[in-house]
């Protein structure tokens, strides 16, 4: 079956599940892409084919070593993809009109599907309003890091000569995307923007995002990974973006960001307090 490049709308928004909601939002807003990829990795998805069963199978017990006969579809350029779907309803709409022997399906964890089809090109929800083509390199990165970019950690020593200031051209799209992301993350207190240049490491300055956040080291590391993915997709002219943790008790970069810049994001305490403080009446 051929997969068209022009995709028409067929999925009503009010019928969408969480994966479909995040897919729709991530099309235009990079801030939702980390959550989309994480949800995708944890989701159960549907593929056309069979596992040697007599009837349709919905199973969480399929592993990367299982034997599956997966149906391939052909794109307009002649290349082959494996279609997979976020729900049985989306699968049935996409496969409408196919011959009965192509209607078998298997449900399995998306991570298992990715592991057992490495090297293949996959397509989530083809023939729907919102779809996502996944190339082998993307799938490998997803399995390895949970995202599409793996941040590298740089430790600055005491002799590092850093120039720090403000960018001449404000990266509005990146800041807007990060603001949307941070507003969904309760641990983030504030976020700052600067331009930093370590001449011993980089020929050109990098954008620097300082994040002040609560939480464990693991939680903050996960937050920085998500923010890094958002920044890498929205930075102007693909300018590199560095991240650092801001602590008001420290000197150096933290002191500069807190004392000499205004945060582009600041947690609104009122919205959280309304959720945790019970209402009371005064008599």
Residue 63's pLDDT is 60
CA-based nearest residue to 91, from 46, 36, 39, 42: 46
The per-residue pLDDT for 26 is: 92
Predicted confidence at residue 97, as pLDDT, reads 60
**pLDDT of the residue at 68:** 77
**Tokens describing residue 277:** 């403080």
Distance CA 155, CA 79 (A): 44
Contacts made by residues 86-89, CB under 8 angstroms, sequence distance 24+: 86/17, 86/19, 86/20, 86/23, 86/43, 86/45, 86/46, 86/124, 86/125, 87/17, 87/20, 87/46, 88/46, 89/15
DSSP code at position 77: T
What does the pLDDT read at residue 153?
52
| 179: its two tokens | 């603001």
**Which domains, ranges and CATH numbers included, belong to the chain?**
2-145 (no CATH), 162-269 (3.30.70)
The per-residue pLDDT for 95 is 85
pLDDT 10s digits, 3-56: 333 333 344 446 889 999 999 999 989 999 999 999 999 999 999 987 665 454
The pLDDT of residue 151: 57
- Extended strands (E) in 162-225: 162-165, 188-198, 206-213
Spans of the chain, pLDDT less than 70:
1-14, 51-66, 97-103, 148-161, 269-283
């Amino acid at each position: 079956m051929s997969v068209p490049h022009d995709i028409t709308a067929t999925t009503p928004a009010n019928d969408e599940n969480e994966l479909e909601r995040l897919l729709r939002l991530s099309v235009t807003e990079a801030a939702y892409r980390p959550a989309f990829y994480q949800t995708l990795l944890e989701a159960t998805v549907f593929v056309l084919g069979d596992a040697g069963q007599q009837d349709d199978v919905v199973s969480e017990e399929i592993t990367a070593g299982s034997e599956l006969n997966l149906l391939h579809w052909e794109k307009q350029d002649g290349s082959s993809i494996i279609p997979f779907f976020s729900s049985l309803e989306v699968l049935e709409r996409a496969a409408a009109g196919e011959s009965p022997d192509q209607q078998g399906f298997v449900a399995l964890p998306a991570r298992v599907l990715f592991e057992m089809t490495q090297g293949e090109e996959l397509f989530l929800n083809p023939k729907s309003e919102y779809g996502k083509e996944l190339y082998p390199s993307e799938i490998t990165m997803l399995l390895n890091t949970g995202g599409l970019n793996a941040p590298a950690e740089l430790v600055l020593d005491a002799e590092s000569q850093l120039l720090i200031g403000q960018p001449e051209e404000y990266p509005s799209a990146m800041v807007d995307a990060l603001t949307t992301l941070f507003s969904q993350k309760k641990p983030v207190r504030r976020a700052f923007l600067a331009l930093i240049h370590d001449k011993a490491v980089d020929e050109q300055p990098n954008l620097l995002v300082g994040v002040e956040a609560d939480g464990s080291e693991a939680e903050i590391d996960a937050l920085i990974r998500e923010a890094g993915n958002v920044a890498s997709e929205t930075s102007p002219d693909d300018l590199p973006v560095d991240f650092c943790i801001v602590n008001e008790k420290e000197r150096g970069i933290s002191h500069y960001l807190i004392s000499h810049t205004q945060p582009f994001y600041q947690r609104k305490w009122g919205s959280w307090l309304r959720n945790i403080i019970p209402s009371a009446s005064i008599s």
